[in-house]
Structure 1
Amino acid sequence: MADIYRNGTGNLICLDEGIDDPAAIVAALNFVHAANGCATSDWGGADTSKSHGAMADLHYKHSNDLYSAGCFSRSWVVQEVVLSKQSTMVLGNSLLPLKKVLCVARSCYYYDRRLDDANLFIVRMLASILDKGDKVAHPKSADTVSSPAAAMYHLLFAMMYQELSDPRDRIYSILGLINWPEGIPSLLVPDYGKSARDVHRDAARYQLRDPGLRLATLQQVYHYSAPAISEVDMPSWVPCWIRSRMDLRPSGSHLFDHAAHSDTAVDVRSMETKGPDVLEVSGVSVDFVAQVGEIFERTDFAEQSSVGEVLNLFHKVRRLLPADLATNAGMFELANVLLQGWPNVKAWNLEDWAHWTKEETVENISAYITYLVEHKHQPPMLESLAIGEDAAVRKASRFLKQLVWVWADNQLFQTASGRIGIGRGIMNPADALVVLYGGQVPFVLRPSGVYHQYICDAYCHGIMNGEAISQHQAEGRASQVFRLR
């Protein structure tokens, strides 16, 4: 199919199905496009803050109706759009250039946020591909993906909301979007005689062999209640791309900017003699989990929820550090742990995609704690704040937004030697904390006879920048091999 679209002169995409008022949607697109001053080559779009009022809201509603159309949700439509030399959308009696449609969506996403995230995730992904003039690119970056494995990784994330009738097409539908200098690897050649389970397992095996990915594929694995996903019985180290993508952990993890691997290279091997479900990875054993705490859900951070557990978490982290909250250094250290090291790496302000300075980090956590103590409930969500809201409230809400991102379905843990960290809610005492060669973060593995089951990635304070590897090497200890199954 990829060759058909690639060799065609153009592509017409009919959008009428499921759309009740095509004329209203065309008018809405023209309104938003004009209001935003869209530049189709600019990832960021334009400032739409002046586009308010009842009429503007109605136009944005109609725009959202467009992006809810079935066309945007189908997996294979991405090839139609991306590979064709020219794509035009047909809506009623109007012809809409694809870039105009995507430009409007992109601008709305980054500024007004009045469109549904699930729908806009799809068009944002398509816009990034079209804008960069390559098969796939890193979001908000001019650098194209460096290898087929990396392109595959990014596409699997970018197409997380796409619908498909056959779970094998989660992998097969993106192969035509990737540049394969030496052809599609035999491990990935489409074969509908293979089970969906094996197709996804082989895709994970292929990605994990790529040193440039830094074992990021493992960080896409999300277990809810057991290391093996029961309904498809995946090996514990395979991301369950078969599962509804709405249930998956957001990729592009906030842990990706760490360097727990120091200068080590990825060392991953398939154990063909043991079967393709077994994966050998090299690294060092750091510690064992001794205690785990409360698992935090998103509802624990709801505006009117009790703040007792949250404050207890803060106090426990402070005692274990310890951190002197009477000093800026102590407050920054507390924030650094609670946000999984973001302030020391790149603490994103999720409101405007800017970085927090050290001073801003201290101001935001201080405002958050003060708000909890004074009001006995969570501050308002950042998106709900009115223009001109009190600065202290805005700072508290900023910290809350990052806190929710880090702690949803996470828990505090302490290791046998006294280290503290944050890991997924599935962690148990006696799980092993290891640093795998080439891995950006520590990983939690569960011993199971001669094998280990993969549990999750983790933040562990004090070993996020190669300290565990350096200590291991200084003591002259040999690396270890972990067999994942």
Structure 2
Amino acid sequence: MTESSPFSVIHSDGSEIRLLVLLPSEKDAPIHCRLETASLSSNPDYDVLSYAWSCPSKYEEITLDDTPFRVPEPLAAVLRRLRLRSKPRRVWIDAVCIIQQDHAEKEQQVLLLPRIYSQARRVYVWLGESTIGTRTAGAPVLEQSLGVPQGSPRLSIVQEALLAKYLIFICGPEKLTWESMGRALKASSKKLEEGEMQSFAEIFCLISRLRQRRSDGQGILSPFELLYKSRRLECENPRDRIYGFLGLAPSVLEAGVVPTYDTSVSTAQVYTDFARKMIQHSERLDILNCVREWRGSGVTVATTANEMDGLPSWAPNWAGRTANDPEPLLDWSDVSSRYCAGRLMEARIKQNEDPKTLVLNGIRFDEVAELGIPWHPEVDIPPPSRNGIEALEQWEALALAAPLSCPYGGDAGRKAALWRTYIADFAGDRSAPKHHSAFMECWYGRASWPYGFSSPADIELHDARPRNLFRVVKDALSLTRHGRTEYTTYARRAYAACAHRRLLVSKRGYIGLAPWNAQPGDVVAVLYGGSTPFLFRPGSTPGVYSLVGECFVYGIMAGEALAWEHAIAAAREFRIV
């Protein structure tokens, strides 16, 4: 669109939008259309068209309100696909119906997106022209949706899929609904590259789960899950990684987050302001659990040059991720968090003049004394045991070395603490899980299944050592008969908890899991309002820290630090930069 285009003024606060009216014509005839204004309050009849608006190399001239008008070739192609022969068709297209250069209009229209998508008769997602295969094969359409060759799936697909009454993917002459896309995904799972499948399958499963919850009237998941798991998706403007979910996460709007496309405000400022407002609104620190190390090499979602300069350590970078990012410890699907290290108290941000400094209260509980080797798995498949994995075997030796003091009651308690650290065990549950001893023998490789099996579901316990023969064989038989599924769950949990992390041993003898970038001397803190403990790196100024990331410390995940006898003396103000 150009600034000279004939756009009428719309009043976004009055729910007005522009619609592109495709005038009827034969398939290959020139495209004639016009713009008209409509109010969402009057329930207009229209469809939505969505596609990836990358920088086009070629344009085509159409007629808009009797005036020649240039549009990208891909847009002209899909307009021909959607045009009817006998009657006009009204379509909303954000890159056409919103003046992209008008920041004020764009900020207002973004707030209307949930209504625009949910009130449309159909939402069409254009994936491009396909020249291979047929609809029955499913793979060509799926390959296009996966971004072959156009790039990664788009961020907007999340909002489109969740809000649309009827979602249709168009790839050339092929059309697929969301449900048929799922069937195509399953049928094509062995034909597509693992990286592509992983990228699309993860977001497809997330959206499918959210769609099911919405249809069941259960609402949606945490906005932080949407933000964190959508980092792999393509997004032209990095601040839309937040604004794209305004209609899906009411708590974000309630926190006072409003879109701004003012170029004088950097994306780093937008992300920082968002993090502060979410903490102030929720009085919880769950957003800090999304912080990952992104500075340096290996960032796989690029941002514009210097776009994130000045982003403080406590504000997550939603536009940057690396292959070594660990999964969040929090389970966003839980109604209440599995951990409550500091949640018995509310997070209160203290007054501070510098917007890049976050001032919170908490307890300086401990300090990192030793760290294990970081474990960066080469494949995204849970191993059957830690046997043969150098990092995890080194963790065991480090954790079980006799400490000067042990908070777990000696060798037996320390071994149990290590096993439950491997799986980042649920807080508050002090009873041993069913088949606990057999699980330990399997995980440590003393009783496992032959290598070559593809998953823990193929378990066949063997190789019990003589000194524990009776107990292990008894447990192994019980596990083989009854516990395969349960052990599979534990193996997956161990992978999710330990991958891209390292074992920590604190000065007071506690065992836990730290981010891969942790260092000896990092402070273990329990902040008021935090579900988990956090690691902080002391700065050159006393009382000033940078956030390293979330951590798991066995023995203080259920609020025990708040009841510690030295908690009052250890309480302090953390100035986080």
Give the structure-1-normalised TM-score.
0.71
2:367 matched residue in structure 1? 288
Q: Secondary structure at the match of 2:420?
A: helix
Letter aligned with residue 215 of structure 1? L
SS of the residue corresponding to residue 116 of structure 1 reads: helix
Distance 1:312 1:156 in 2: 34
Q: Is the 8 A contact 2:372 2:394 kept in 1?
A: no
Q: How many angstroms apart in 1 are the aligned matches of 2:558 and 2:496?
A: 22
Identify if the C-alpha distance between structure 1 residues 178 and 331 changes in structure 2 by more than 3 Å, giving closer, same or farther. Answer: closer
Corresponding position of 1:216: 286
Task: Go from structure 1 to structure 2 and tell me whether the alpha carbon gap of 1:93 and 1:307 turns closer, same or farther (over 3 Å shift).
Answer: closer
| 2:163 aligned residue | 83
Local SS of the residue matching 1:73: coil
Q: Secondary structure at the match of 1:335?
A: helix
Q: Once the 2 structures are TM-superposed, how far is the Cα of residue 156 of structure 1 from its aligned partner?
A: 0.6
Shift of 1:340: 2.5
Kept after mapping to 1: 8 A contact 2:363/2:567: no
Residue in 2 that maps onto 1:267: 348
Aligned pair partner of 1:170 in 223, 226, 241 = 241
Cα deviation, 1:386-418, whole Å, max 9, x if unaligned, reads 985524599788765544332233222232333
Who is 2:136 aligned against? 27
- CA distance in structure 2 between the partners assigned to 1:264 and 1:369 by the alignment: 38
Q: Secondary structure at the match of 1:340?
A: coil
Match of 2:528 in 1: 437
Alignment-derived partner of residue 38 in structure 1: none
The answer to whether the aligner puts 1:98 opposite 2:98 as a matched pair is no
Match of 2:418 in 1: 334
Alignment of 1:24-423 (within 5 A): 26-29=135-138, 64-65=142-143, 67-69=145-147, 70=150, 73-102=153-182, 105=185, 116-133=197-214, 143-145=218-220, 151-179=222-250, 185=256, 188-211=259-282, 214-223=284-293, 232-244=309-321, 248-251=325-328, 253=330, 257-261=338-342, 263-269=344-350, 271=352, 273=353, 275-299=354-378, 306-307=388-389, 310-320=392-402, 332-342=416-426, 358-371=433-446, 380=451, 384-385=454-455, 390-391=460-461, 401-423=492-514
Whole-angstrom CA distance in 2 between matches of 1:27 and 1:323: 63
- Answer whether contact 2:313 2:546 (CA < 8 A) is retained: yes
Deviation at 1:298, TM superposition (A): 1.8
For the residues of structure 1 that align with 2:213 and 2:504, how far apart are their CA atoms? 42
Structure 2: give runs of 5+ residues left out of the alignment: 1-109, 300-305, 464-479
Q: Retained in 2: the 8 A contact 1:122–1:158?
A: yes
CA 1:299/1:107 → structure 2, altered by over 3 Å: closer, same or farther? closer
Where does residue 454 of structure 1 map in the other structure?
Answer: 547
Counterpart residue type for residue 14 of structure 1 = W
Aligned 8 A contact 1:288 1:430 in 2: yes
Residue 47 of structure 1 corresponds to which residue in structure 2? none
Q: Please name the residue that 2:574 is paired with.
A: 482
CA contact (8 A) 1:211 1:438 kept: no
Identity %: 19
Q: Which amino acid aligns with 1:170?
A: R
Q: Which moved more, 1:216-225 or 1:239-248?
A: 239-248
* Cα 1:296/1:6, change in 2 over 3 Å: closer
Task: Determine the C-alpha separation between the residues in 2 that align with 1:469 and 1:151.
Answer: 26
Q: Does the CA-based 8 Å contact 1:336-1:344 persist in structure 2?
A: no
1:79-107 superposed Cα distances (whole Å, 9 cap, x missing partner): 44443443222344444333432466589
Distance 1:208-1:8 versus aligned 2 partners, 3 A rule: same
Give secondary structure in 2 for the equivalent of 1:205: helix
Q: Could you say what the CA RMSD is over the residues aligned between the two structures, in angstroms?
A: 4.2
CA contact (8 A) 2:155 2:234 kept: yes
Change (3 A) 1:380 1:208: farther
User: How far apart, in 1, do the equivalents of 2:339 and 2:228 lie?
Assistant: 20
The structural deviation recorded for 1:435 is 0.5
**1:15 aligned counterpart, secondary structure:** strand
Q: What is the match of residue 96 of structure 2?
A: none
Q: Retained in 2: the 8 A contact 1:434–1:445?
A: yes
SS in 1 for 2:564: helix
What SS does the corresponding residue of 1:296 show, helix, strand or coil?
Answer: coil
Structure 1 residue runs of 5 or longer lacking an equivalent are 30-60, 135-140, 347-355
Contact 1:323 1:334 in 2 (8 A): no
CA contact (8 A) 2:456 2:491 kept: no
1-structure distance, mates of 2:255, 2:349? 20
- Contact 2:511/2:553 (<8 A) preserved: yes
Q: Structure 1: how far apart are the matches of 2:324 and 2:521? A: 27
Aligned counterparts of 1:419 and 1:478: Cα–Cα separation in 2: 17
**Aligned residue for 2:303?**
none
Deviations 1:259-302 (A, max 9, x none): 2125212223462x1x2101111111112223333323325998
1:243 partner letter: G
Q: Which has the higher contact order (CA 8 A, sep 6+)?
A: 1
Question: Quick one: distance in 2 between partners of 1:434 and 1:475?
Answer: 11
Contact 2:257 2:274 in 1 (8 A): no
Conserved? CA contact 2:537–2:546, under 8 Å = yes
In structure 2, what residue type is equivalent to 1:367?
C
**CA shift at 1:238, angstroms?**
1.0
Measure how far apart 1:235 and its partner are. 0.3
Structure with max Cα Rg:
2
Q: Is the 8 A contact 1:270 1:278 kept in 2?
A: no
- Compared CA separation, residues 216 and 262, structure 1 to 2 (3 A): closer
Partner of 1:467: 560
Determine the C-alpha separation between the residues in 1 that align with 2:570 and 2:393.
42
- 1:201-259 deviation per Cα after TM superposition (whole angstroms, max 9, x unaligned): 122212222437x4121111112678xx9963420101111214766433364695222
1:203 alignment partner, SS class: helix
